[in-house]
Structure 1
Amino acid sequence: MAANDYYSDTRYDGPGQYSGGDDFGSAVQHAQSHHSSEDSSLFSSAMNFLNERKGEYQDPSRYEVDEEHAVQAHNAMYNEGNEQGRSHDSGTVGAGAAMQALKMFTSGGSSDGGMDKNKLIGLAMAQAGKLWDQKEGAGANMSGDKQSAINNAAEMALKMYMKGQGGSIGGTGGPSGLMSLASKFLS
């Protein structure tokens, strides 16, 4: 059994007790591999959030991505300077993190390789956790909470993945859809 097959058939039973179906089971492990495990329970809660909403994602209109907002969020999170006194909300942190995850994922910055949706979601959650800590530590005024930022990142990453795959929630799909989506967002 290949390593990827193992992860797609398992559930995460560590801190936070992710207990949902197997569609998102390995995303928590991917997130932990890119960020400290102190956010394990937040990652697990985000997977439960996605699982509760899984039925909604069968409708193609549910995975539309506000491209302008996503690009602006990415710029606000990664390309602007001094954070002292700036304000950020959990939606902006989540969107910016998901965009950075897509950028890393499609440019080979994801050390895991492959085009698995759980890798993209995990990377987005890890980026959201890091961003929240960095922005808060740099003196930014944060509204919302870290859990909401991680949930938003996970959901946007899933939407981007589904949009790039033509709406398929299952499987790993090919790289061309995500590459096209990344070039559209990050050009």
Structure 2
Amino acid sequence: MQIEQTYIEGCFILKPSVFKDDRGLFFESFNQKTFEEITGLNINFVQDNQSVSKKGVIRGLHFQKGEFAQAKLVRVIQGEVLDVAVDLRKDSKTFGKHVSVKLNEVNNYQLFVPRGFAHGFITLSEEAIFAYKCDNYYDKASETGILFNDAQLNIDWKMDESQIELSDKDMILPHFKDLNI
């Protein structure tokens, strides 16, 4: 497995070694020891989540505040998404910047999103099965987010806004400048 640091400190792309033959394929999707050796991070994942989304659905940009902040390791089991992580660490030189990467069933890439980031994705394929590990439990009272089309963030979601579908709660998320973090 290769683990590459993105231009945002603490945010990594994991690229597994995929072994293919006429029977199919195999890859190791996560190895705690390798992850710790390369990143220097000691992560203890405590919760796994999975969602299924149709084309044009954006889930995000979400995060949990305070003691309930979560680091996430995200991947696509089927389909393709554009995955986005926004740096919300006020003391970071990349505060307010984002990284985006296409995750799909062909490249099998994963994105490690550290605590202190907002996270979201848009489904680019007809349907996508999205899975992620979290290092802290979900706490509804600590959840918030940022409006997906915030002008200050200037995220290219690779799809026209007329094709995008949001949940009711994601439609009313605050703008980046209005966050209380």
Instruction: Please report the TM-score for the alignment, with normalisation by the length of structure 1.
Output: 0.29
Q: Whose helix proportion is higher, 1 or 2?
A: 1
Greater strand fraction, Structure 1 or Structure 2: 2
Larger Rg: 2
- The TM-score with structure 2 as length reference comes to 0.30
Higher relative contact order (CA 8 A, sep 6+): 2
